[in-house]
Amino acid sequence: MNYENLLVQDSDGILTVTINREKALNALNSQTMLELQRFFSEDAPGRSGLKGIILTGAGDKAFVAGADIKEFLALDAGQGQVMAQRGHDIFFLIERFPKPVIAAVNGFALGGGCELAMACHLRIATENARFGQPEVNLGLIPGYGGTQRLIQYLGKTKAIELLMTADMIGAEEAYRLGLVNYVVPPGQETAKATELIRKISSKGPVAIAKVIESVNAYFQYDEDGFAREVKAFGDTTGTEDFREGAAAFIEKRKPDFKGR
């Protein structure tokens, strides 16, 4: 399969998928999202001998710095909901993938990037990795599952603080809070992820798939917080505040929010 924004390398059944938009800090534009969808729904399931998948970002500065702000700047509330629902569907494909998917977080994992890492089964962070959900800086909320998965990993106390303050945390704090499984020096993240996939692939494959399925089932509540997030993301996408927040980001200045 040909990709514009993903590099896919196969090493003895371990696929390393690199999001390859280094100049935009690997921001997730719609083409990249489409390619992730095709990869997880068509390409990867058809590969024989697949042991697991490592997701990482090109360069040494960012894993993924979020959804591509420049691209969704002009969306209205309805289109914002469509964008969020699409992102949820793709990230559920990752979370429900029956083989281990490990995020090798090699720098900024912000907004949609933090959400992408959280949709993976395990996370390895380099010492310089930084995590955060800075959407409120833009007058937005997370739209790819961040309000739900951050609570799953951190608990409500820290999750709601990070969601409301937009503060970033470093790799060591992410480890301490239970967001990442291991912290390694830069350059060693893929080797650590490979070691884990080798270990997991020596176990019963059906059992591993059932572990993933059963763990995911723990978080299926009656009240669908993911659906709430889709609606709320759409609501924030349609605001003047988001236009102002995104314009301020692009013009590299502080936003002047009006609350509408």
Catalytic residues: 115, 135
Distance CA 182, CA 132 (A): 17
128, 109 contact by CB (below 8 A): no
Nearest approach, Cβ of residue 203 and ligand CAA (Å): 34
Which one of 65, 102, 171, 230 is in contact with ligand CAA (CB under 6 A)?
65
Nearest approach, Cβ of residue 54 and ligand CAA (Å): 22
Distance CA 147, CA 159 (A): 8
Coil, strand or helix at 40:
helix
Q: Is 68 in the site for ligand CAA (CB under 6 A)?
A: yes
Counting residues that bind ligand CAA (by CB under 6 A) gives 23
Count how many Cα atoms sit within 13 Å of the Cα of residue 125 in the half-sphere of its side chain: 27
Q: Is 27 in the site for ligand CAA (CB under 6 A)?
A: yes
C-beta neighbour count of 110 within 10 angstroms: 25
Which one of 52, 57, 66, 100 is in contact with ligand CAA (CB under 6 A)?
66
Residue 139's nearest CA partner among 208, 215, 21, 241 is 241
Site for ligand CAA in 79-108 (CB under 6 A): 87, 108
Site for ligand CAA in 128-187 (CB under 6 A): 134-135, 138, 140, 142-144, 146
Distance CA 116, CA 150 (A): 11
Nearest approach, Cβ of residue 41 and ligand CAA (Å): 20
Beta bridge partners of 131: 109, 169
| Residue number, 15 or 119, with CB nearest to ligand CAA | 119
190, 11 contact by CB (below 8 A): no
| Residue number, 57 or 112, with CB nearest to ligand CAA | 112
| Residue number, 67 or 212, with CB nearest to ligand CAA | 67
Distance CA 191, CA 6 (A): 20
| Residue number, 146 or 255, with CB nearest to ligand CAA | 146
DSSP string, 111-122: THHHHHHHHSSE
| Residue number, 94 or 110, with CB nearest to ligand CAA | 110
Which one of 14, 19, 25, 119 is in contact with ligand CAA (CB under 6 A)?
25
Q: Is 53 in the site for ligand CAA (CB under 6 A)?
A: no
37's CB contacts (< 8 A; 6+ apart) are: 89, 90, 93
Site for ligand CAA in 205-244 (CB under 6 A): none
Enumerate binding residues for ligand CAA (CB under 6 A): 24-25, 27, 65-70, 87, 108, 110-112, 115, 134-135, 138, 140, 142-144, 146
